[in-house]
Amino acid sequence: MRLFAREGKVIYPGDKMGHHTEKVELTVLCMIQDGNKVLLQNRIKEDWKGYTFPGGHVEAGESFVDAVVREMKEETGLEILDPRLVGIKQFPIENGRYIVLLFKATKFRGDVVSSEEGEMEWIELENLSKVNVVEDFFDLMKVLNDPSINEFQYTIEGDEWIVHLK
């Protein structure tokens, strides 16, 4: 494939004006599972408060797998092994979209530590309904655990955020 550059941007064939993309913020999230327990973070930030899976931003030029391994080490203290990409979550942001690559890991080593993002805690699967999880947690679990669902998308209709699982 022959690539062209215009004003510092790579232009792909068929994209004469360079308008086939949008602003994207890339992040990763990982469900670390140990038998019948999952590792959750009790987030303290107001924008998404409650128990959820740890994650964070992908750095410029970083591979997605390297990003999830790095983020899990930073936020949980664990070195995850063989993380598997199992889905994607996305929602609109100003002039673009926020994309969360959803990973699952069942192999890891190290000791759990917490970070400034929140306390880490192993929660048994049967006790998840008793924990103050983030609002969309159970929809997220469907994408992480059901191989027939691989996308979690929010759309906005008026003032309402609508969840679509595909």
CA distances from 1 to 12, 61, 93, 125, 164 (A): 8, 21, 31, 48, 35
Q: State the DSSP code for 148.
A: T
Query: Rounded to an integer, what distance in angstroms lies between the CA atom of residue 132 and that of residue 117?
Result: 16
Residue 149 covered by a domain: yes
Residue 53 in any domain: the answer is: yes
Does a structural domain hold residue 35? yes
Note whether residue 159 is domain-resident.
yes
For residue 153, tell me if it sits in a domain: yes
Q: What is the CATH number of the domain that holds 139?
A: 3.90.79.10
At 4 the pLDDT is: 47
The token duo for 97 is: 């979209």
Taking 50 as the pLDDT cut, the residues of the chain under it are 1, 3-4, 10-12
Range of the domain at 106: 22-165
Q: Which pLDDT belongs to residue 6? A: 52
Domain membership flag for residue 95? yes
How many whole angstroms separate alpha carbon 132 and alpha carbon 113? 20
Residue 2 located in a structural domain:
no
- The number of distinct structural domains making up the chain is 1
Specify the pLDDT at position 8: 53
Report the pLDDT value the prediction gives residue 116, as an integer from 0 to 100: 85
Q: Has residue 5 been placed in a domain?
A: no
- Res 1: pLDDT: 47
